[in-house]
């Protein structure tokens, strides 16, 4: 007798969000760099928000994965809509480093493949990995879209990018 095992979730079950310790470490470092108050209320315990960090005052949900885009965009978008918060989806690749997908509350499209940029003792910025465009300041006040870059030159841009490949810190450089 042949037995078939199905690993697909049933219709009433939500697919589990698997996150590695490397991703969890980088999520913690990202949250520390943003310097928010972390939610410890019932929302943080909701199974729907598993593997995420809720920042209630900053109105941000930070989720993380090792999967490349477009995986988990729909689920992260649903998390943001259900909680009425901005969403940062951290993606960690051990060879390429950390990138971020950002969805502002009420927006209809994601900002994809942003990288962390920071000066020592400054706010964490999420900037386009290539080219220019919208820049995002991430602080305890929340996410702020900015049209001008936080750096003056291409050299300063390169010097401030933090990929967090070897260690999960987003402390920034001088």
Domain coordinates in residue numbering, the chain: 21-162
Q: How far apart are CA 75 and CA 87, in angstroms?
A: 11
> Would you say residue 149 has pLDDT above 50?
yes
Q: Is the dihedral of CA 37, 28, 20, 114 positive or negative?
A: positive
Q: pLDDT category, 71, cuts 50, 70, 90?
A: very high
pLDDT of residue 11: 41
Q: 92-96, 143-147, 170-174: which range is least confident on average?
A: 170-174
Residue 17, number of CB atoms within 10 A of its CB: 19
The reported pTM is 0.86
Q: How far apart are CA 35 and CA 32, in angstroms?
A: 5
């Amino acid at each position: 007798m042949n037995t078939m095992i199905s690993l697909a979730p049933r219709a009433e079950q939500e697919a589990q969000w698997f996150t590695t310790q490397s991703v969890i470490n980088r999520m913690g470092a990202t949250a520390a760099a943003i310097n928010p108050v972390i939610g410890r209320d019932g929302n943080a315990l909701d199974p729907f928000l598993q593997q995420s960090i809720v920042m209630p005052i900053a109105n941000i949900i930070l989720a993380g994965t090792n999967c490349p885009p477009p995986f988990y965009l729909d689920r992260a978008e649903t998390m943001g809509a259900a909680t009425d918060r901005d969403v940062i989806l951290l993606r960690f690749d051990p060879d390429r480093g950390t990138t971020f997908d950002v969805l502002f509350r009420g927006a209809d499209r994601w900002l994809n493949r942003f990288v962390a940029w920071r000066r020592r003792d400054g706010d964490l910025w999420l900037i386009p990995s290539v080219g220019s465009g919208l820049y995002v300041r991430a602080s305890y006040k929340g996410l702020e879209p900015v049209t001008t870059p936080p750096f003056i030159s291409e050299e300063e841009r390169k010097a401030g990018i933090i990929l967090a490949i070897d260690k999960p810190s987003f402390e920034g450089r001088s």
